[in-house]
Structure 1
Amino acid sequence: MATPATPVRRTRGLPVVRQLKQAVGLQRGMLIAGLVLTGIFLLTAAVAPLLAPYGYDQLRDADGPFGAQQSPSGEHWLGTTVGGYDVLSRVIYGTRTALAVIVVAIVLSLFIGVLIGLLSGYFGGWLDRVLVVVCDAVYAFPTLLLAIVMAIVISGGQSSLWGGIFAAAISITVIYIPQYFRVIRAETVRIKAEAYVESAKVIGASHWRIMTRHVLRNATRTLPLIFTLNASEAILTLAGLGFLGFGIEPTSGAEWGFDLNRALSDVTSGIWWTSIFPGAAIVWVVLGLTLVGESLNDLADPRLRSRRAAEAGETGEVTVVPGGPLGAGPGGLAGIEETR
């Protein structure tokens, strides 16, 4: 009789824990640094109202108005903006806006990309050819240009909180659907030729049951490797919209790109605090997500993983599951397990 898995074994099976165990040397340091930076970002977004000393659109307190372009002090640790808002509060609340864009963009692109990739790879034929051509054409569109068009269409360029979020998220969704489509399509084409899928067809299982119970479950296990790439692009697109003046109005929500746009004139006047902290927040989040994504991608490549393990003086047996690593061919991402 099989014994139930202990909590320790279940924890070791989690993707991040498994990757941390496999990583060695500099690669492990990069992954840990990325996880720490990303964890601080997520924690800040979760408890933003508790951390921020003022509201994102607050201009005064009991003592009166804050005043514009006030230098950092005991009352305003990071100073105030040209509009009289507290810089620290807007930087903290900006994490919530950034996280909302990431979630909406990934959920939409994941749902649509996985669905059409599954249908295209499973049924093939003219449907597959049409979807491949359409996705290749869509992938050629510039992300930021599409985001500007969506901002104008959704809210006339003067974005409310959710108008700005959806303008950036929809543009990211359209651009990144082809990535999910390619990965799922390649995995579906491979998996549908496996013996257990053929057996399911022989016993009379419906196409829907085969796709959802057998193909989808195995085709999506490598998707977390490209989540971080989408998240980084979503942050940069949202910041680009705000910097160009198509972002979220300060009375509707806090957004780092918009604050950078309003701080342009301050830079030449020696007022550094209105621009340095929103810019540093963008760099912080993008750097953390990029470090996580690059580390996971390296660990999915058996050549890089074996080489770095050898450099660290470790030995291990590497087993490669069918399907190549990200960018290593039409198979897309890798399904790789390392056994010790």
Structure 2
Amino acid sequence: MTATTTSATPVAVPKRRLRDRLPVAHQLRQSVGLQRGMLVAGLVITGLFVLTAIFAPLLAPYGFAQLRGEDGAFGSQQAPSAEHPFGTTVGGYDVLSRVIWGAQTALLVIIVAVIASIIAGVLLGLVSGYFGGWFDRVLVVVCDAIYAFPSLLLAIALSIMISGGQSSLWGGILAAALSITVVFIPQYFRVVRAETVRIKAEAYVESAKVLGASNGRIMFRHVLRNATRTLPLIFTLNSSEAILTLAGLGFLGFGIEPTAAAEWGYDLNKALSDVTSGIWWTSLYPGLAIVLAVLGITLVGESLNDLADPRLRGRRRVAQAAGQVAETSVVPGGTLSAGPGGLDGLESGESFDEHGIEVKR
């Protein structure tokens, strides 16, 4: 007799397409209905904000501190015209140019503030959650104290300490960014610390310790990548908060000098007296810029947050994208086969025993 051997056929693992590797591309395919509309709208508005900031020198008709053109001085509080589509400010600046250049200032503050707070918050949360002890207790108390303090008041105090209230372009950007960073660090610290405390008790971390891996290798190779999965959500929400904090500092007079950079909050502050005089254009466009920038980033963040929570997803569309759902045991002594409908089949009120016969409940 000849024995026949059967070899298991290797299962081909499909490679991820290039479009699925792009940021937010996978979430965009998962979204459906209102979630997709919010995500697309947020991405479009945020994309326009970023592109405007990057290409501000090309898009702005004048410089942010320019007062004269080829035909002479612009004039103060001039109404919208062909030469100045958004009019001019009380200081004689072109409103359209100030709005476009202000996007660049806001983007620079977001990049410096959020990246600095992520680096500091993640490192502190990782070390604190992994080692624990007195260092962990001290950091928790300090971060809770900072988190409980009014963020704008703390930013004002730090801005005065750093730059004396007003400064040059990079001096003002660093002052605003550092003051925002101190406010944001506790948020990243809390999230990363909580995840690190949970992950360090997992079996694979214990196995790495048994194999002799160093603490540094375990923290940065095994714990870090699993503890930072929710950071993109916090990043988007903190970006919108950074814009509001920067605008608040400028509105209260602790922002950047107008001759050093354009800043929406400062322009709103100078337009307060114009509103009562019927001069609407000096405050309308900087205010709209703040609202649209914050709205776009917030829509992206809230949509990503909904898609990251399985309870908030569009169930049917997600189940179809994920393929057939595996057999799920829900009835004592029997199983249910959940098809592409996903959880809809489980919630329809129909159950089946092991022979496939419907069970009435």
TM-score, length-scaled by structure 2 = 0.83
1:299-340 residue CA offsets vs partner (Å, 9 max, x unmatched): 1111111xx335x7976769xxxxxxxxxxxxxxxxxxxx9x
- Match status 1:86 vs 2:94: yes
Question: In structure 2, what is the Cα distance between the partners aligned to 1:5 and 1:13?
Answer: 13
Structure 2 residue corresponding to 1:231, chosen from 239, 242, 249: 239
Aligned residues: 316
The share of aligned pairs that are identical, in percent, is 74
- Match status 1:309 vs 2:315: yes
- Greater mean alpha carbon deviation, residues 232-241 or residues 185-194: 185-194
Question: In structure 2, what is the Cα distance between the partners aligned to 1:82 and 1:2?
Answer: 70
Determine the structure 2 residue equivalent to 1:331: none
* Structure 2, unpaired ranges of 5+: 1-9, 324-341, 343-361
Determine the structure 2 residue equivalent to 1:335: none
Secondary structure (helix, strand or coil) at the match of 1:54 reads coil
Aligned partner letter, 1:19: Q
Determine the structure 1 residue equivalent to 2:128: 120
Determine the structure 2 residue equivalent to 1:219: 227
Distance 1:224 1:83, change over 3 A: same
Distance 1:4 1:94, change over 3 A: farther
Distance 1:2 1:174, change over 3 A: farther
Determine the structure 2 residue equivalent to 1:202: 210
- Match status 1:53 vs 2:61: yes
Q: Could you list the runs of 4 or more consecutive aligned residues of structure 1 that deviate by over 4 angstroms after TM superposition?
A: 1-6, 312-318
CA RMSD, 1 decimal: 2.2
Determine the structure 2 residue equivalent to 1:325: none
Secondary structure (helix, strand or coil) at the match of 2:17 reads helix
* Structure 1, unpaired ranges of 5+: 319-338
Question: In structure 1, what is the Cα distance between the partners aligned to 2:319 and 2:205?
Answer: 38
- Contact kept, 8 Å, 1:24 with 1:309, in 2: the verdict is no
Bigger radius of gyration: 2
Structure 1 residue 175: Cα displacement: 1.4
- Match status 1:186 vs 2:199: no
Structure 1 residue 204: Cα displacement: 1.4
- Contact kept, 8 Å, 2:90 with 2:271, in 1: the verdict is yes
Question: In structure 1, what is the Cα distance between the partners aligned to 2:59 and 2:322?
Answer: 47
Question: In structure 2, what is the Cα distance between the partners aligned to 1:150 and 1:14?
Answer: 37
Structure 1 residue 99: Cα displacement: 0.3
Determine the structure 2 residue equivalent to 1:20: 28
Question: In structure 1, what is the Cα distance between the partners aligned to 2:322 and 2:146?
Answer: 41
Determine the structure 2 residue equivalent to 1:323: none
- Contact kept, 8 Å, 2:68 with 2:74, in 1: the verdict is yes
Secondary structure (helix, strand or coil) at the match of 1:227 reads helix
TM-score, length-scaled by structure 1 = 0.88
Structure 2 residue corresponding to 1:162, chosen from 149, 163, 170: 170
Distance 1:313 1:100, change over 3 A: closer
Determine the structure 2 residue equivalent to 1:322: none
Determine the structure 2 residue equivalent to 1:334: none
